[in-house]
Structure 1
Amino acid sequence: MIGRLMTMSAEPGKGGELAAVLLSVAQRLRGFPGCEIYLISQDAADPDTVHVTEVWRDDASAQAALAASSRAGGPTPGDVVALLSSAPHRTDLIVLGGVGLPNADDQP
């Protein structure tokens, strides 16, 4: 499994709108093959900062979801970028397991 932590800074006052767009993306990912976790969080101290925590079966699943979102008629990556004040920060992770992950016992 792979993971990503995305930190996004919205234009001032647009954090709620950014979070809403990302929650719409999350809704479309329910049941998407390979998507284990897609969690949207807003920073308690700075509501214009939004975090996305992702866990995917593999990179191919993450890439397939990105491609599908552009064709599904919902929010696109461009819709997200339009709300940002700067480029998102992405941290790639190797997921080791934990609570809430299916088959967490199968992880190395």
Structure 2
Amino acid sequence: MIGRLMTMTAHAGRGGELAAVLLEVAERLHGFPGCEIYVISQDAADPDTVRVTEVWRDDASAQAALAAPPTPDGPTPADVLALLSTAPHRTDLTVLGGVGLPADGRP
């Protein structure tokens, strides 16, 4: 399994909008093959900072999700990017296990 921690900073005062759009993305991923965890969080000290915690069965599953066409009524990558004041920061993770993962979280 692989993980990603995405940190995004919205334009001043637009963190709630960014979180709402990312929650729509998360809803679209519900049941997507290989998506184990996709959690949206807003920084308690800085609400314009939004983080996405992802766990995928493998990199191919994560790439398939990125390549999937947006739903007609759902947000597009451009919708997310328009809300950002800076480029998102991605941290790649090796998932070792934990609560909420299938089986023991190991590949």
TM-score by length of 1: 0.94
Alpha-carbon distance, 1:72 to partner: 2.1
Unaligned runs of 5+ in 2: none
SS at match of 2:79: helix
| Cα offset, 1:77, TM superposition | 1.1
TM-score (norm 2): 0.95
> Distance between the aligned counterparts of 1:79 and 1:67, measured in 2?
16
Report the Cα distance in structure 2 between the residues aligned to 1:87 and 1:99, rounded to whole angstroms: 31
Q: Percent identity?
A: 80
Aligned length: 106
Per-residue CA distance 1:23-73 (angstroms, 9 max, x = gap): 0000010100000000000000000000000000011101111111x3322
Higher helix share: 1
Aligned to 2:44: 44
Show the 5 A alignment for 1:38-77. 38-68=38-68, 70-73=69-72, 74-77=74-77
Q: After the TM superposition, list the runs of 4 or more consecutive aligned residues in structure 1 that deviate by more than 6 angstroms.
A: none
For structure 1, the 5+ residue unaligned runs are: none
The corresponding residue for 2:79 is 79
TM-align CA RMSD: 1.1
